Amino acid sequence: MVQCHIYNSAVDWWAFGIVLCKMATGRSPFYEGRKAEKCIHFILNCQPSYSEQLSTELQDLLEKLLKKKPYQRLGFKGDIRRHPFFKSINWIEAESQKLKPPFQPEPVSI
């Protein structure tokens, strides 16, 4: 979406990679500054950087979600469920909403 091209669902997998990285590390895999031009430059021309504290499965997942070429991205061909990062997920239970979350926060009233 940074360039003026027609987009498909591959952009959603890229966005998922960005969100996942920010959730895991607290930062973007690209540029953290405020200048949009510099951020766009990093997205288009640089490889993302990852914390060495991430598991190898998560690093591999992020690398595959953040491929520059949309047709090379994990998820583009419906193959994301087979990635080792998701090996502990029972997809049948998830689809039938029977999967128990690993963490359930306490409800808080505001």
* Residue ranges per structural domain of the chain: 10-95
Q: How far is CA 48 from the centre of its chain?
A: 12
Token pair, residue 14, equals 């890229």
Among the listed ranges 8-12, 20-24, 69-73, 78-82, which one has the minimum average pLDDT value? 8-12
Contact status, residue 62 vs residue 29, Cβ threshold 8 Å: yes
Full-model pTM: 0.77
Distance CA 42, CA 48 (A): 8
Task: Give the distance, in angstroms, between the CA of residue 68 and the centroid of all CA atoms in the same chain.
Answer: 13
Q: Indicate the SS3 state at residue 12.
A: helix
Fold assignment, 10-95: Transferase(Phosphotransferase); domain 1 (1.10.510)
Q: What is the pLDDT of residues 37-79, one digit of tens each?
A: 777 777 777 777 777 889 999 999 999 999 988 888 898 787 8
Higher local confidence (pLDDT), 46 or 102: 102
Confidence of residue 8 (pLDDT cuts 50, 70, 90): low
